[in-house]
Amino acid sequence: ILQGPEPKAGRVPTNFEQSTGNERKQYLAAQQGKQYYDTGPLYLETKGTRQNPTIVPSGAAWRLVGCNGAPGESHELMWIRVERSHGIDRCPECGNAYKLSEMGFDPNNLPDVEPHEH
């Protein structure tokens, strides 16, 4: 379990002291001016195909992807669960093929952060 230092007795713990797990990873990344999760849009110049799918950066087993058409905005936003075990997943509206990257963000490779008071 990834957790912070023990809070000082008799006072309410800070976010730095009480955050654990993925919340702590997000907090530590934010202190370094980074984002733990990649929440930026994928800009598609071409439509993903079975042979050449749109690669989605992820180190997880699955990721939610919002598709509004490829390569332009040709339909309303649809959410697709792209799963590593599927190989590729397609948007049911436009047919764009998505695949998770082989290597994604490494949460264990964040810089060390020294605690500080707020």
- Mean pLDDT, rounded, for 13-27: 83
pLDDT of 96 higher than 70: yes
- Mean pLDDT, rounded, for 103-113: 53
What is the band of 104 on the pLDDT scale with cuts at 50, 70, 90?
Answer: low
Helix (H) or strand (E) holding 89: strand 89-90
What does the pLDDT look like over 33-70, one tens digit per residue? 888 777 777 778 889 999 999 998 877 888 899 998 87
Provide the whole-model pTM: 0.60
Per-residue exposure over 54-86, b if at least 16 CB sit within 10 Å of its own CB, e if not: bebebeeeebebebbbbeeeeeeeeebebbbee
- Cα(46)–Cα(72) distance, integer angstroms: 9
